[in-house]
Structure 1
Amino acid sequence: MKGIVAFLLLSISFYASGQQDTLSITLENVKYAYPIQHLALKVEGQDLRMAYMDIKPTNPNGKTVMLFHGKNFAGYYWTNVIQALSTQGYRVVVPDQIGFGKSSKPFIHYSFHLLARFNKQLLDTLGIQKTAILGHSMGGMLATRFALLYPERTTRLLLENPIGLEDYRMIIPYLTTEEQYMNELKTTAASVKKYYQSSYFPEWKSEYDYLVDIAAGVTKSADFPRYARVSALTFTMIFEQPVVHEFSSLQVPTVLFIGTADKTIVGKGTLSPEDQKKYGQYAVLGKETARKIRGSKLVEFNEVGHIPHLQIPEVFLKSLLENLN
């Protein structure tokens, strides 16, 4: 575990010394583990750039895995997964979705359909016909939408603690994008860490601090209001575009990797303490979702939270490779 953590931390050129440095909203001063390339896109009259890593293995097995990150993250937290897959001969494609990470932060109508199309365009550009997709958190919702839209391109759907396993419209009080924007502007290092501790990791370790450093570093940027508004727009996308009612329509082999101690709820802060205990129960949601997806497989990790690939890297990666091979 120490070796993987060291490799992960060395992948990020970021100086955390108890205080968050100022980061640009496209993370120019965060160095990813592998070279960044860009896909040019034209959306709603705007010229955009979608950042991605394309890691080709030394001894290729002819297969590809695409990694879709969560809402509060980007390609930087996939380092150990990329390394494990590449070592086994997989080509690994890791996009930062439009609105996230090193990609453009436009004011557009965000939808999972649109983001899925961008990722298909990326595959087309790279000449990749078929890929397995591993989606974490929000990336799980996007991966599900991609598999529903392009089943012929999806060899396997791998969902790591995806959000959207319950319909947030039935749970969370409605907030307009503007109201959510005002909430986003209040983000601080303390609020980020409190949320990550209460939802993502059952036990906090210093090796997770860099996640907070990056999330909080952008709040010091002069461009943070743009970042906050885009974050509000993607919150609205998650809230208004559920996939939970379409799991039964999936036509591709699906594996759910679920840390059963996860308590993630989108919009959790708007709920009473009683309702926070009622929803976001992945020990229950994982099983319910597996029953909805024909032929799916459920892999549960007890006492593990929202990000198994960081909390229990060796166990998660072993299971991931077993379910790919």
Structure 2
Amino acid sequence: MWPKHLLPFFLILFTFQVALAQPKPLDPELTYYEYPFPVHFHHLTVQKQPMKMAFMDVKPQQANGQTVLLLHGKNFNGAYWAQTAKDLSKNGYRVIIPDQIGFGKSSKPQNIQYSFQLLAQNTKSLLDSLGIKKVSVLGHSMGGMLATRFALMYPETAHKLILENPIGLEDWKRWVPYQSIDQWYASELKQNYEGIKKYQLDNYYGGKWDPAYDEWVNVLAGWTMHPDYPKIAWNAALTYDMVYTQPVLYEFNQLKMPTLLIIGQRDKTALGKANASPEARAKLGNYPALGKETAKKIPNSKLVELANVGHLPHIEAYSKFITPLLQFLKTK
């Protein structure tokens, strides 16, 4: 038992810690949400509209002449690459971390036709503006679909490809009923802290929660608390439609560059799985099988399977993630 005279102190400390852990309202462009490195903006004209693409440019003290491009997942932004970028920088790599249009600190347009080709073009424009001609591309989750499309469109730029628990290893259209953008939008408007955390707990982390995961719930939940949240929900609905209707898996065999697959084996992520039949639902998101199938489709690929790790190896099991990544990057 604590001494009675210390109880008020511990009560204040506990209240402060709880307050820190709770989400706070965040505006669509995360104006007051601090990223781990200085944020810059690349200005674009997209479908007759001026837009800005946020990015971080992490330069090493002792450069090895190579650059790594980090592409975030759908429910995330570039900030979750903080530790990865720090270690890559320590190993001599320049690291470019964009927020795609519609995500993070980048523009959230009301009228736009999203495609992975568009996001890849925007990313190539950013690299061109920085004078970067070759990169190793690392994509996580939806970022894996984008990284694949980028590598297919710009094979002269994508020197190596790393896919960390990418989604889109199966074509959900074959088993999951189509949802209109309006249906996705209505669903997004219902999002809240409890629902977001439950989804991540069940699908990403296998039912085991660590306080380190709070940050990536709080950002999404903070958006839902802001009066401009409908703008976020609308972009989320548009990009859900993009992910559902634009598979890349049928072109895996066209990838020519060395490719590393890092696959957490406990992952169960599959878009719209809850709307599939019980029989299909039981088979969707089977990452142990999907990783092996994908490795067979991609020429010159290597598969690293991480046992008892879910959808976010670089958050949940960092040491298991960074070791094979650095080894792959250093291989000629």
Task: Please state which band the TM-score falls in when normalised by the shorter chain.
Answer: over 0.9
Aligned to 2:101: 98
Give the counterpart letter for 2:129 in structure 1. T
List runs of 5+ in structure 2 lacking aligned partners: 1-16
Aligned to 2:57: 54
List runs of 5+ in structure 1 lacking aligned partners: 1-13
Q: Aligned to 1:42, what secondary structure does the other structure show?
A: strand
Tell me how far 1:269 sits from its aligned partner: 2.8
Aligned to 2:266: 261
Aligned to 1:246: 251
Task: Verify the 8 A CA contact 1:68 1:136 in the aligned structure 2.
Answer: yes
Corresponding position: 1:114 with 2:121: no
Q: TM-score, normalised by structure 2?
A: 0.92
Tell me how far 1:18 sits from its aligned partner: 4.8
Give the counterpart letter for 1:31 in structure 2. E
Q: Which moved more, 1:61-70 or 1:36-45?
A: 36-45
Task: Verify the 8 A CA contact 1:16 1:210 in the aligned structure 2.
Answer: no
Task: Verify the 8 A CA contact 2:21 2:214 in the aligned structure 1.
Answer: no
CA gap of 1:272–1:93, structure 2 versus 1, over 3 A, is same
Aligned to 1:126: 130
Aligned to 2:238: 233
Return the alpha-carbon distance in structure 2 between the equivalents of residues 16 and 229 of structure 1.
29
Pick one of 150, 155, 170 that aligns with 2:154: 150
Give the counterpart letter for 2:92 in structure 1. G
Aligned to 1:11: none
Task: Verify the 8 A CA contact 2:256 2:300 in the aligned structure 1.
Answer: no
Q: TM-score, normalised by structure 1?
A: 0.94
Instruction: Kindly provide the CA deviation profile for residues 45-75 of structure 1, in whole angstroms up to 9, marking residues without a partner as x.
Output: 2110000001110000000000000000001
Pick one of 205, 213, 216 that aligns with 2:218: 213
Pick one of 191, 197, 201 that aligns with 1:193: 197
Tell me how far 1:19 sits from its aligned partner: 3.0
Task: Verify the 8 A CA contact 2:71 2:140 in the aligned structure 1.
Answer: yes
Aligned to 1:74: 77
Aligned to 2:7: none
Q: Aligned to 1:152, what secondary structure does the other structure show?
A: coil
User: In angstroms, what is the RMSD of aligned CA positions?
Assistant: 1.3
Task: Verify the 8 A CA contact 1:140 1:161 in the aligned structure 2.
Answer: yes
Q: Aligned to 2:32, what secondary structure does the other structure show?
A: coil
Q: Aligned to 2:57, what secondary structure does the other structure show?
A: strand
CA gap of 1:55–1:263, structure 2 versus 1, over 3 A, is same
Tell me how far 1:15 sits from its aligned partner: 8.9
Give the counterpart letter for 2:221 in structure 1. A
Task: Verify the 8 A CA contact 1:16 1:213 in the aligned structure 2.
Answer: no
Pick one of 272, 282, 288 that aligns with 1:283: 288
Return the alpha-carbon distance in structure 1 between the equivalents of residues 45 and 203 of structure 2.
36
Pick one of 176, 180, 183 that aligns with 2:180: 176
Return the alpha-carbon distance in structure 2 between the equivalents of residues 16 and 117 of structure 1.
41
- Could you say which structure has the larger radius of gyration? 2
Tell me how far 1:16 sits from its aligned partner: 5.1
Q: Aligned to 1:71, what secondary structure does the other structure show?
A: coil
Aligned to 1:293: 298
Aligned to 2:8: none
Q: Aligned to 2:156, what secondary structure does the other structure show?
A: helix
Instruction: Kindly provide the CA deviation profile for residues 79-101 of structure 1, in whole angstroms up to 9, marking residues without a partner as x.
Output: 01000100000000000000000
Tell me how far 1:275 sits from its aligned partner: 3.2
Aligned to 2:229: 224
Give the counterpart letter for 2:289 in structure 1. V
Return the alpha-carbon distance in structure 2 between the equivalents of residues 134 and 45 of structure 1.
30
Task: Verify the 8 A CA contact 1:200 1:305 in the aligned structure 2.
Answer: yes
Number of aligned residues: 312
Give the counterpart letter for 1:79 in structure 2. A
Tell me how far 1:274 sits from its aligned partner: 4.5
